[in-house]
Amino acid sequence: MHEQFEKAWSYLLGIWQYRWYVLGFAWLIALAAWTLACVMPDQYRASARIQVDTESVLQPLLKGLAVQPDTQRQLYLLSRTLLSRPNLEKVAHATGLDRSLQTQRERDVLIDQFERRVNLSISDSANLYRVTYENTDPQTAQAVVKAVVDLFLERNAVHSREDSESAREFLDRKIKEYESRLNTAEQRLMEFKRAHAGEMPGASGDYFARLQEATKNLESARYELQTARSRRDELKKQLVGEEPMFGIMSPDTRSQLTPELDQRISTLQDRLDQLRLKYTDKHPEVVSLRATIARLEADRKMRQAELASQVTPRSSPALEQNPVYQQIKSLLAQSEADVAAAGVKVRQYEQQVSELKRKVDVIPEVEAQLKQLSRDYETNKETYDSLLKRRDSAQISDEAKASGSEVTFRVVEPARVDSEPVAPNRPLLVTVGFAAAVGGWGGLGLLLVLARPAFFTRAALYEATGVPVLGAIGRVYTGPQRVRHRLEIFVYALVCGLLVLTYLAVMAVSLLGWI
Amino acid sequence: MTSSIERAMQRSRSLARGASPATREVTAAPELARESQPSSGDRRIELDFVALRRQGYLVPENANRELLEQYRMVKRPLIGHAFSGETIGTNPANIIQVTSSVEGEGKTFTSFNLAMSIAMELDFTVLLVDADLTRRSLSHLLRLDGEPGLVDVLTANETDIGKVLYSTGVPRLRVVPAGSHHERSTELIASAAMRDVVDELATRYPDRIILLDSTPLLMDSHALTLAAHVGQVLIVVESGQTREKLVEQSLQLIDQSTTRVGLLLNKSVRGYGYGYYGGY
């Protein structure tokens, strides 16, 4: 810390050697700054506010239906393009500022000045645009701001209309393009289908699925055939086993060979018995019944004889009458039919499988081609559909725009000029001038000190030379020297004080606005 | 830097003509010393302490105590080196040349005050020699202009150096003025005769401190020639004025292996790094 203070002290001592130069320099700076502050013309600021309303009533309703324009981006673009050179030329023309200008150069200067001074600021929260312009003449400032606001409103109208029109044109063109593409794809798909009618995959799926299914069917048909066959064989065996049983049939059972006759006879016998309870044997009805029974019995006898002669030579005729035998026989017949049917089925499936196997090279290729064609078609169709949808929504958007619902520009605050000039800030300039003067004092002094470095302290001397410093002798003043020295300090303080006083005076004048 | 040397030389030329505002305070001293009656072999002057004191010089009566204290600091190492026997060369250590880089830094002021300080406070006899034959500031100060002095010894007008010693009102202070005016007086300092004088002084008065008020180092080569023969050189540096470069140049010129060199910061201003080193 001590070193730093020592350093600062030695710089101060150094500056003191050039005290009059640096003080003169400080005065020069101060006077120049203050003169500038007084001479600078007043600047008036004109401003206008434009509200940009993007929150419309229709917007929530149209959500998802219409294309949502990026309003923030739109505003940004607008503000960027608004202050382009041609537009500023328009402003110059509208305000009549270019009327007195003869050369292109003068005009350029004016436009350049516009470019620098016309300021367009956006406060995002409220969507408020603020247009400001500063000029020494309040009327001119106001006129320029007004022209810019007009430009703003006009520009917006043109911009959005052009925008939507070009969008619709684009959509139309695209739709037409996709329509033709879609047609082509459709045509191609149809022709392909026609050419490969037999090899088209059915509802059951592609080639391999079909082959698999056919194989499976074949398997099950074969199984069915086998089952039917074994069943038939079993039935046949049973049928053969049934025959020996007829040989040991008793003769008594012969009567059973004519069951219907036996039954009729017994029925008639019962009736006869009932009649004889009421009537005598002479009753005609009894007589006729007896006759019938006799005939039937004769019949039965004859029949029995007939049957017996039939059965005995070839197994036995009674076998025919066996119901189990009959049943087995009919089942056998049915299973024979099943076997035949299963055989047919197996043959059919075999044929199908072999057919499919034969076409192994052709069908997958066809299927792949078909798939591709279908995909093309689908893609085209999807795009086409979405384009159509989009055109519709664009149309709705346009209509929404046309009804003025999307972005509305409203002049919240028309061009207005502050009655008080906004610039120059004279008190600030005066203070800055004073500060610059003080800085100049120190700066120039330090520059001179650093340009001609000398020693002020023993320590510095020793540090720089490395030679022992035996001592430091203070400056000794003789009487008149001391007087002169003190007088100089006094005058110096006076001149410095005068600078401060002048600063205060100029400050007071500028604050009270007397300039 | 060159320009500063040139300027210094110009100033020295104007000084030679006898008028410079920078040294007026020193040279324009009226009636500083009254010449006493020159007796044979012992010339006497009386110093006007009042006038000297008014000009800021150190005087025995009513001395400026602050200044006294500052010189006390300076003289202590000088005397210590002069009689400690720890010489760094063959040159006599009791011969101290007071010089500076450029003129106007306060050589005469320093040498006179230093001599006075030593004579006043210590039991050493001091011999103060005006070896600046160009400006002869010390001779002016002591009102010994044109009186026989160093030049006369060098030019063999006066064979014995003892003949040009002037005793003062201060008991142990003797002075040797520049002497008669001579056309080539500056070159005399660099002559072999000067060397002989130095050697003679050293051998004849080995118990005395001999202070030589010399010309600036960077002005001409004579001061440097002289520095080669003396034991100690005290370089006066003017605070805030002498450029760092010039001090460094001066130091480079002196062969520090044979001559002990010390610096003295003159005309320094009170403040940081001042009271620290030189307070009571």
Tens digits of per-residue pLDDT, A438-466? 999 999 999 999 998 888 888 889 988 98
Q: What is the mean pLDDT of residues A141-165?
A: 72
Chain A residues whose CB is inside 8 A of the B240 CB are 13-14, 16-17, 454-456
Strands A469-474, B260-268: pairing is parallel
Ordered alpha helix ranges (H), B57-176 = 65-84, 107-121, 137-141, 150-154
Q: Could you tell me the pLDDT band of residue A188, with boundaries at 50, 70 and 90?
A: confident
Q: How far is B241 from chain A (nearest CA, A)?
A: 6
Helix (H, G, I), strand (E, B) or coil at A388: helix
Phi, psi of A486 (to 5 degrees): -65, -40
Three-state DSSP at A9 gives helix
Decide if A467 contacts B248 (C-beta within 8 A).
Answer: no
Q: Report helix angle A71-82 to A138-195, nearest 10.
A: 130
Cis peptide before A259 (omega within 30 of 0): no
User: For B31-52, what is the mean pLDDT?
Assistant: 64
- A470 touches B: beta carbon within 8 Å: yes
Per-residue pLDDT of A231-278, as tens digits, reads 888 888 887 776 555 444 444 455 556 777 888 888 888 888 888 888
Q: Residues 238-257, chain A: which have Cβ within 8 Å of B?
A: none
Give the ranges where chain B is alpha helix by DSSP (H): 2-16, 24-27, 49-54, 65-84, 107-121, 137-141, 150-154, 185-189, 192-204, 222-227, 244-253, 275-278
pLDDT at B262: 93
Mean pLDDT, chain A, integer:
80
Instruction: Return the residue of A nearest to B263 by Cα.
Output: A469
The tens digit of pLDDT for each residue in A217-240 reads: 889 989 988 998 898 888 888 877
Question: Does residue A154 surpass a pLDDT of 80?
Answer: no
- E strand or H helix at A355, and its extent? helix A323-358
Subunit contact A473:B269, Cβ cutoff 8 A:
no
Q: What's the rounded mean pLDDT across residues B115-138? A: 89
Give the pair of three-digit tokens for residue B35: 């010449």
When pLDDT is cut at 50, 70 and 90, the band that residue A412 belongs to is confident
Q: Distance between CA B195 and CA B191 in Å, rounded?
A: 7
Q: Which of B54, B55, B73 lies nearest to residue A471, judging by beta carbons?
A: B73
DSSP state letter for A57: S
For residue A469, the chain B residues in CB contact (below 8 A) are 262-265
**Nearest-CA neighbor of A231 among A342, A328, A332, A325?**
A332
B106 to chain A: which residues are within 8 Å by CB?
Answer: 473
- pLDDT at residue B30 is higher than 90: no
pLDDT value at position B112?
94
- Residue numbers in A near B58 (CB within 8 A): none
Give the pLDDT band (50/70/90) at residue B279: very low
Q: At what angle are helices A426-451 and A19-39 packed, to 10 degrees?
A: 160
Asked whether the predicted pLDDT for residue A420 surpasses 70, the reply is yes
Nearest C-alpha in A relative to B237? A455
Residue A149 has pLDDT above 90, yes or no: no
Rank A22-31, A127-136, B70-79 by mean pLDDT and report only the highest: A22-31
Query: Within a 10 A sphere around the Cβ of A464, how many other Cβ atoms?
Result: 15
Q: How confident is the model at residue A210 (pLDDT cuts 50, 70, 90)?
A: confident
Q: Which residues from A are below 8 Å from B55, CB to CB?
A: 478
Which pLDDT value is given to residue A71?
A: 60
Q: Which residue has the tokens 């004191």?
A: B53
Backbone phi, psi, residue A122, to 5°: -120, 130
| First and final C-alpha spacing in chain A | 48
- Cβ contact (<8 Å) for A457 and B273? yes
β-strand partners of B47: B33
Which band of pLDDT confidence, cut at 50, 70 and 90, is reported for residue A117? confident
Per-residue pLDDT band at A401 (split at 50, 70, 90): low
Name the pLDDT band for B161 (thresholds 50, 70, 90).
Answer: confident
Q: What is the mean pLDDT of residues A162-189?
A: 84
The distance of B178 to chain A (nearest Cα, Å) reads 26
pLDDT in tens, A36-89: 988 888 888 888 888 776 555 445 555 565 555 566 666 666 666 777 788 888
- Output the six-digit token pair for A165: 């029109």
**Mean pLDDT of the residues in chain B:** 80
Contact A451/B at CB under 8 A: no
- Sequence-distant (6+) residues with CB within 8 A of B191 are B154
CA distance B98 to chain A (A): 13
Instruction: Give the number of beta-carbon pairs within 8 Å between A and B.
Output: 137
